[in-house]
Amino acid sequence: MYYGELLLVGLVWGCTYALMALGLTLVYGLLRILHVAQATVFTLGAYVGVLTATQFGSLTLACIAAALTAGLIGPLIYRFVYQPVLNQPPFVPLVASIGIVIAMEDGFRLIFGPYGKPFDHGATLSASYGVGGLNVSAIQALIVVIALALVVALNVLATRTRVGIAWRATVGDRAMAESFGIDVQWMRYLCFFIASVLAGIAGMLIGLLNGLVEPGMGGVVSYKGLAIIVLGGLGNVQGTLIASLLLGIVESFGGVYLGDYMDRDAIAFLCVIVVLLLRPHGLFGHSR
């Protein structure tokens, strides 16, 4: 049953990575931009969540506040940072995105202090329950449930609604979508809004899981998200989901069996490097 608990921990972390990586995949699929600034949206969601929970004592309200605040920042980043440089070489939006990360991380340190803020999730989420012989904490269950609900909602939006169909058409062929009257610009704003909502919620959930929110907490998770979208095949949503869960599981087991030699983050990136050496286009991508 020890292996079952490791698997559970891996799935929990994989779910949080999936929320982060899905947003990166959506942006890349639409604009072919590596949206590194997602790291600061992630951190912003965590800070808004902890401040709201501390002020009002409601995790539900904190989650809503984190999602909406992060969601509003995303389109602003697109409008004022990416849109002016869309016609430039790909490295230009990437450099601009890295600049946002550096500036906002320093801003978080100035506003909230360099040592982070504790995120006390209360006695309810600290409770543990026995499920099939596994010891499952309430916060682990909450993370999995929220992640699954968001993934299902995103799938329904993309496949069962007119907005989702227009969105997919824009990704597939922008010129054709415009000829059918689809507002491509509005689709881009929607994409950044959804990607940022996912990142903001992921930030709050990881803040809850760690019990701490720090200025630079989005950095490593964002880099893992970029690794995941490459591992899953650039722009491949299903591949991103599977790669996220696989990476979480590899970290969980590797942290136990290889923890004396390297930390869990190093194990994750080593795994990604090995896979990409064998399959440069990712596990679920297609060679061109």
Mean pLDDT of 229-243: 83
Beta strands in the chain (DSSP E): 117-118, 128-131, 134-137, 212-213
Pair of tokens at residue 4: 């079952």
- At 130, the amino acid letter reads G
Please give the Cα distance from 62 to 45 (Å, whole number). 9
The answer as to CATH 1.10.3470 being correct for domain 2-278 is: yes
- At 198, the amino acid letter reads L
List of residues 6+ apart from 39 with CB closer than 8 A: 101, 218, 219, 221, 222, 223
Kindly indicate the confidence band of residue 123, based on its pLDDT and cuts at 50, 70 and 90.
Answer: low
Pair of tokens at residue 79: 């409008």
Pair of tokens at residue 137: 């904490």
Q: Is 87 helix (H, G, I), strand (E, B) or coil?
A: coil
What one-character-per-residue DSSP string does 23-56 give?
HHHHHHHHH----TTHHHHHHHHHHHHHHHHHHH
Is the pLDDT assigned to residue 224 strictly greater than 80? yes
Kindly indicate the confidence band of residue 85, based on its pLDDT and cuts at 50, 70 and 90.
Answer: very high
Burial bucket for residue 131 (CB in 10 Å: 0-12, 13-18, 19+)? exposed
- At 139, the amino acid letter reads I
- H/E stretch holding 159 reads helix 138-160
- At 200, the amino acid letter reads G
pLDDT score, position 101: 92
Distances (CA, A) of 67 to 22, 107, 193, 276, 278: 15, 20, 9, 33, 38
235-167-196-95 Cα dihedral, nearest 10 degrees: 60
Report the predicted TM-score, pTM, of the whole model to 2 decimal places.
0.91
pLDDT score, position 190: 93
The residue ranges of every structural domain in the chain are 2-278
Please give the Cα distance from 80 to 96 (Å, whole number). 11
Q: Output the average pLDDT for the chain.
A: 86
pLDDT score, position 231: 84
pLDDT score, position 173: 79
Please give the Cα distance from 113 to 124 (Å, whole number). 28
